[in-house]
C-alpha cells in the first residue's frame, strides 16, 4: 500500500492544501509532520472556502483520521479556536477523527512574544519576516530540552516543573529584551485550563500509525511551508525553524523511512515568497516595487498570505530552484498548480540557472552573499491567450500551455503527476496517481 508525502517545493503557498484535500479521498490517514500554525492552507470545495493552519487538510473530507505529529509545534489555544471555527463550517472533528501526538511540543504565549519582539528589534537586513506566531522560539525550546509537551498537560506536578524549566531560560532572555518577567502561576493556570481540551485528542501517534500500516491503511503526509524555507536546505537564515523536506515526514510522526513510497512536490507555475530573503527571479522595478508582470501575477493569483494577509512577492518560474528541491526531497512527481494564472501572458520567462561573478551555476549556492548576487538566466517561451481556468483534462489545454508544462518537466528533471487549474477541489488533472505508482 503506497504512502504519499506532499511537500512544498518552493517558498510555501504552492497550493499544498488543495492537493492534499484532493488526494485525501484516496488515503485513510492524513498527517502533518512539521511546522505549526505559521502554515495557511486554503481549500475551496463547491464554492465554500476553508482556511486551515494547524489542522491537517484531511479534516474537511470526513471519515478520515487526521493526525498532528510530534514534528509539529502546537499552539493549544490556537488549535481549540481553529477547531471551533471549522466546526462552525459544518465539519465534524472528534477524538476519533483527530489525534495529536503526545510528544508534540507546545507553543506558549511567551514564544509568540519573543518571536515578535526579536523581529521588532531587528535592524534592516536582519529581519526574517516571520509570521510572528512563535514557531522559531518553540523549536528552539524543543532542541533546548525545555518544551512543555502535550503529555505534560496530564500531570499537574510535571506541568509545573516543565514551566519552571522553560522560564529559567526565558525570564533572563525577556529581561534583556525589555519584556516583563512571565507570570508563572497565570501561565500554569492557563495551561491547566486548556489541558482537557487538548488531551482528549492525545495519542501515541507512532503506535497508531504503525498499526495502521500493518493493517494496510494508506497515509498521506501533509507538509507545510516549502523546501526553500527548510532550516537546513533553505535560504538560511531567511527560513522557518523546522525541516520541511520529505525526509522529515518519517521523523515527524514516528514511522521508518521505508514508510514513504512516493514524494509529491507541489510546485506553483511561477514563484512567490512571503517575508524577507533572496529571490533571484523576483519581478521588481529598480526602486524595489513589483514591476508590471509581478503585479499581474500577484493580482491574478490573489497572492496574499492566508496566515498574515501580507502581499506575496512574485517572480517567474525558477527551474533551477525546483530541480534542487526535487533532489533534496526525492520528489518522484510534481503537482503543478496555478497554471491558469499564466493565461494571457504573451511571453513567459523561466529561470534556468544563475550567473555569479561571470560563472554559470545550475543551482543556488549556499553562501548568503552569493545568493544575493546571483543573477537569473532566463529562457523565453511563448504564452497562450486561451483560458486554462477550470480545465480538467489535457485536451482542454492550449498547445502552448502543454509546451510550457513539458519544458518545466525537462528543466526540473521530474514528471508532472498532477495539474491544478483553479482553487476548486475538482479543477485538477491527474496524470499519475501517486497512491498507485
44's contact among Mg ion, ligand IMO, ligand GDP, none, with CB below 5 to 8 A by partner kind, is ligand GDP
- Residues 285 and 291 sit within 8 Å (Cβ to Cβ): yes
Burial 146-167 (b: 16+ CB within 10 A, else e): bbbbbbbbeeeeebbebbebbb
User: Which neighbouring-strand residues pair with 65?
Assistant: 29
| Closest residue to ligand IMO in the complex (CB) | 275
C-alpha cell at position 412: 526540473
Binding site partner of 38, from ligand IMO, Mg ion, ligand GDP, none, Cβ cut-off 5-8 A by kind: ligand IMO
Q: How far is the CB of 291 from ligand GDP (least distance, A)?
A: 21
Q: Which does 129 bind (CB under 5 to 8 A by kind): Mg ion, ligand GDP, ligand IMO, none?
A: ligand IMO
Q: How far is the CB of 237 from ligand IMO (least distance, A)?
A: 9
Binders of ligand GDP in range 387-426 (CB under 6 A): 420-423
Q: Which residues are known to be catalytic?
A: 13, 41
Question: Going by DSSP bridges, is the β-strand pair 41-45/48-52 parallel, antiparallel, or unpaired?
Answer: antiparallel
Interface stretch with ligand IMO, choices 85-93, 98-106, 122-130, 203-211 (CB under 6 A)? 122-130
Do 54 and 36 touch, CB atoms closer than 8 A?
yes
In this structure, are residues 263 and 7 in contact, taking their beta carbons and an 8 Å threshold? yes
CB of 235 to ligand GDP, least distance (A): 18
> End-to-end CA distance of the chain, in Å?
10
Say which DSSP state 52 is in: E
In the complex, what is the shortest distance from the CB of residue 39 to Mg ion, in angstroms, rounded to a whole number?
A: 6
Dihedral sign for Cα atoms in the order 192, 197, 199, 205: negative
Nearer to ligand GDP, 199 or 402 (CB): 402
Residues 216-235, interacting with ligand IMO (CB under 6 A): 224-226, 229
Q: By CB under 5 A, which span of 39-47, 72-80, 205-213, 364-372 interacts with Mg ion? A: 39-47
- Is 40 among the residues that bind Mg ion (CB under 5 A)? yes
Binding mask 340-379 for ligand GDP (x = CB under 6 A): xx--------------------------------------
126: phi then psi, degrees, rounded to nearest 5: -110, -15
Minimum separation from the CB atom of position 186 to ligand IMO (A):
25
Q: Which residues 6+ apart lie within 8 Å of 179 measured at CB?
A: 113, 114, 117
Report if residue 274 touches ligand IMO, rule: CB under 6 A: yes
| 6-14, 104-112, 230-238, 415-423 -> range binding Mg ion (CB under 5 A) | 6-14
| Binding of residue 306 to ligand GDP (CB under 6 A) | yes
User: How far is Cα 111 from Cα 266, in angstroms, rounded to an integer?
Assistant: 30
Q: Could you tell me which of 71, 74, 371 has the C-alpha nearest to residue 238?
A: 371
| Dihedral Cα 259, 262, 263, 266, nearest 10 deg | -140
**130 is an interface residue for ligand IMO by CB under 6 A:** yes
Q: Which of 49-57, 148-156, 167-175, 299-307 is the region at the interface with Mg ion (rule: CB under 5 A)?
A: 299-307
Nearer to Mg ion, 176 or 309 (CB): 309
Rounded to a whole number of angstroms, the minimum distance from the CB of residue 89 to ligand IMO is: 19
225's CB contacts (< 8 A; 6+ apart) are 8, 12, 34, 35, 38, 39, 240, 242, 244
71 counts as binding Mg ion under rule CB under 5 A? no
> Are 392 and 429 spatial neighbours (Cβ–Cβ below 8 Å)?
yes
Residue for grid cell 502533518: 32
Q: Interface with ligand GDP by CB under 6 A: which range of 9-17, 25-33, 143-151, 361-369?
A: 9-17
- Compute, in degrees rounded to 10, the torsion defined by CA atoms 55, 57, 60, 63: -90
- For residue 29, what is its C-alpha cell? 490517514
Sign of CA dihedral 80, 85, 86, 87: positive
Least separation in angstroms between CB 282 and Mg ion: 18
3-state DSSP call for residue 362? coil
* Widest CA span in the chain: 67
d(CA 285, CA 289): 5
Q: Is the dihedral of CA 15, 20, 21, 23 positive or negative?
A: positive
For Mg ion, the binding residues in 306-345 under the rule CB under 5 A are 306
Q: What mask of x and - would describe binding to ligand GDP in positions 10 to 49, judged by CB under 6 A?
A: --xxxxxxx---------------------xxx-x-----
Contact positions with ligand IMO (CB under 6 A) in 20-59: 38-41
The contact set with Mg ion (CB under 5 A) reads 13, 40, 306
The contact set with ligand IMO (CB under 6 A) reads 8, 11-13, 38-41, 128-131, 133, 135-136, 224-226, 229, 240-241, 274-275, 306
The contact set with ligand GDP (CB under 6 A) reads 8, 12-18, 40-42, 44, 306, 337-338, 340-341, 420-423
Amino acid at each position: 500500500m503506497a504512502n504519499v508525502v506532499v511537500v512544498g517545493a518552493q517558498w510555501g503557498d504552492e497550493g499544498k492544501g488543495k492537493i492534499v484535500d484532493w488526494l485525501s479521498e484516496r488515503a485513510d490517514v492524513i498527517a502533518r509532520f512539521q511546522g505549526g500554525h505559521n502554515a495557511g492552507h486554503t481549500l475551496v470545495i463547491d464554492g465554500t472556502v476553508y482556511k486551515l493552519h494547524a489542522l491537517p487538510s484531511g479534516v474537511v473530507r470526513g471519515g478520515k483520521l487526521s493526525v498532528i505529529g510530534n514534528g509539529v509545534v502546537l499552539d493549544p489555544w490556537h488549535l481549540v479556536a481553529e477547531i471551533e471555527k471549522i466546526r462552525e463550517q459544518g465539519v465534524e472533528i472528534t477524538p476519533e477523527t483527530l489525534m495529536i501526538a503526545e510528544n508534540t511540543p507546545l507553543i506558549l504565549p511567551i514564544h509568540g512574544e519573543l518571536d515578535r519582539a526579536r523581529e521588532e528589534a531587528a535592524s534592516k537586513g536582519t529581519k526574517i519576516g516571520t509570521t510572528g506566531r512563535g514557531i522559531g522560539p518553540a523549536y528552539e525550546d524543543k532542541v533546548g530540552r525545555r518544551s512543555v509537551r502535550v503529555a505534560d498537560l496530564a500531570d499537574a506536578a510535571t506541568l509545573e516543573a516543565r514551566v519552571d524549566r522553560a522560564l529559567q531560560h526565558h525570564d533572563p532572555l525577556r529581561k534583556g529584551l525589555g519584556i516583563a518577567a512571565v507570570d508563572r502561576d497565570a501561565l500554569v493556570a492557563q495551561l491547566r485550563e486548556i489541558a482537557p481540551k487538548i488531551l482528549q485528542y492525545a495519542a501515541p501517534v507512532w503506535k497508531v500509525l504503525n498499526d495502521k500500516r500493518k493493517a494496510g491503511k494508506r497515509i498521506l503526509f501533509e507538509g507545510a511551508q516549502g523546501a526553500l524555507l527548510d532550516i537546513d536546505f533553505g535560504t538560511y537564515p531567511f527560513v522557518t525553524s523546522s525541516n520541511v523536506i520529505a525526509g522529515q515526514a518519517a521523523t515527524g510522526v514516528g514511522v521508518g523511512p521505508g514508510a514513504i513510497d512516493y514524494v509529491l512536490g507541489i510546485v506553483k507555475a511561477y514563484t512567490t515568497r512571503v517575508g524577507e530573503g533572496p529571490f533571484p527571479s523576483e519581478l521588481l522595478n529598480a526602486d524595489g516595487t513589483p514591476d508590471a508582470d509581478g503585479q499581474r501575477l500577484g493580482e491574478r493569483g490573489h497572492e496574499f498570505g492566508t496566515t498574515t494577509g501580507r502581499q506575496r512577492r512574485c517572480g517567474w518560474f525558477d527551474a533551477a530552484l525546483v530541480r534542487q528541491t526535487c533532489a533534496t526531497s526525492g520528489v518522484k512527481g510534481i503537482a503543478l498548480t496555478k497554471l491558469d494564472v499564466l493565461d494571457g501572458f504573451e511571453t513567459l520567462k523561466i529561470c534556468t540557472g544563475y550567473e555569479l561573478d561571470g560563472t554559470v551555476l545550475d543551482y543556488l549556492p549556499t553562501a548568503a552573499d552569493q545568493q544575493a548576487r546571483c543573477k537569473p538566466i532566463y529562457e523565453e517561451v511563448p504564452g497562450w491567450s486561451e483560458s486554462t481556468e477550470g480545465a480538467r483534462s489535457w485536451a482542454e489545454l492550449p498547445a502552448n500551455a502543454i509546451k510550457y508544462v513539458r519544458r518545466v518537466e525537462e528543466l526540473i528533471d521530474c514528471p508532472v503527476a498532477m495539474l491544478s487549474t483553479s482553487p476548486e477541489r475538482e479543477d485538477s488533472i491527474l496524470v499519475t496517481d501517486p497512491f498507485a505508482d
